[in-house]
Structure 1
């Protein structure tokens, strides 16, 4: 069932900039149609790292996923907008917190979402954040990542350029730092007992985005 894009975007009114931003993201970015499906059989509490204005929460609720949700982001203005929109949308069992993950990592056990965050961190910091996120994943939980990958393709170059542009126009506080490789991601997640599945998620966009679903293997 398609997402109610205009209804979700209306939660950000009267801020027309965020209304049109969210409407365009929901219309053009395949992430928001794809990610809720990853939680079809997942009832674990969800920690959304780098949640921005909280679009993932709205998409989950619109798709019938009622899991407890906590979103964290370093941008206080986005967190304020996320709280207001969540209330306007009537979403309960959800919380948003200002948090600098380089200084403090939330305590959590369950599932974790890490969407469009890794590319804004240097390689070493990527590994640290992935390790922290992986340690939060419970036996029935999962780590859901959306990231560009360093694979030498034209899509990879386009993704880097667009991320840098997003910083120049002021939407992202930090600029592009590095793309992880699939091998790096697999190795880090494997060290923490997670098996990763990679799916292309560029849809009709020119970007080299991938959806990574990482779970703990079922015990025999």
Structure 2
């Protein structure tokens, strides 16, 4: 795995409980009986099966610094933040205008939560604080991926963290399963672009280090899912 142990120590985290996932999913239930329940059931399934949110929250300092969520999709992390009593300002951006509109509608009533439609390959919003890149970078080619990592790192404050979950190019069964699943998500229209480049661990860590961040070794964050998900925690020294 190009310098990173193939089997790291998994983070001790778990998906949301069924009541927690259902409570958040209610925000995505359509007002009309005949409305689409796609987002409602997706949210229940995602939050109830993926340990992503618990794992990231464990690594996100409770220091009140704002959070920039790049490639936020429906903005589920904002709901989890508020459900867990975290009050720091949150800005989620995503290139999918339809998802951003649904995220806005579902987040009505959540304090200090905003969403913007933005391509992460364009100029990023002004921000100083924590930055999230969760299951995003594999949808960029290698060059734009490096550009995004540097731009995201530049927005991490002293004492702030860049929390990045991504598949890594490991060449094993999880790697192959993830590539197939990502491509299927594109083919069915859930993702607006196909996967383009799975980062090599050595290159990824070097890019973040060169940007002035102190980077910990990647740790598995896939839980009981079959995917090749790893969490990278990179912090800017005080």
1:193-215, Cα deviation, whole Å (9 max, x unpaired):
11122211111111110011110
Residues 8-47 of structure 1 aligned to structure 2 (within 5 Å): 8-14=24-30, 15-47=36-68
Aligned match of 1:80 in 101, 116, 122?
A: 101
**Offset at residue 40 of structure 1 (A):** 4.0
State the alpha-carbon separation in 2 of the partners of residues 16 and 28 from structure 1: 18
Q: Is the 8 A contact 2:25 2:43 kept in 1?
A: yes
- What is the DSSP-based 3-state SS (H/G/I as helix, E as strand, rest coil) of the residue aligned with 1:21? helix
Count of residue pairs the alignment pairs up? 216
- 2:115 & 2:24 partners in 1: Cα distance? 17
Query: What does the per-residue CA deviation read over 1:56-110, in whole Å, with 9 as the maximum and x for residues that have no partner?
Result: 10111111111100000011100001011100xx211110001122232111111
Aligned partner (choices 161, 185, 201) of residue 142 of structure 1: 161
Aligned to 1:165: 184
* Unaligned 5+ runs, structure 1: none
SS of the aligned residue for 1:210 comes to strand
Please tell me the root mean square deviation across aligned C-alpha atoms, in Å.
1.4
- For residue 97 of structure 1, the aligned residue among 105, 109, 116 is 116
Q: In structure 2, how many angstroms separate the alpha carbons of the residues matched to 1:129 and 1:20?
A: 31
TM-score when normalising by structure 1: 0.94
Gaps of 5+ in 2: 1-13, 31-35
1:39 and 1:65 in contact (8 A); partners too: no
Which residue is equivalent to 2:227?
A: 207
* Alignment CA distance shift 1:145-1:195 (3 Å): same
Partner of 1:152: 171
Give the structure-2-normalised TM-score. Answer: 0.87
Deviations 1:111-167 (A, max 9, x none): 100001001001111100000000000002110101000022111111111100100
CA deviations on 1:162-181 (whole Å, 9 max, x unpaired) are 10010011100100101001
Q: Which has the higher contact order (CA 8 A, sep 6+)?
A: 2
- The 5 Å alignment of 1:178-217 reads 178-197=197-216, 198-217=218-237
Kindly report structure 1 stretches of 4+ aligned residues shifted beyond 4 Å. Answer: none
Quick check: 2:62–2:86 contact (8 Å CA) kept in 1? Answer: no
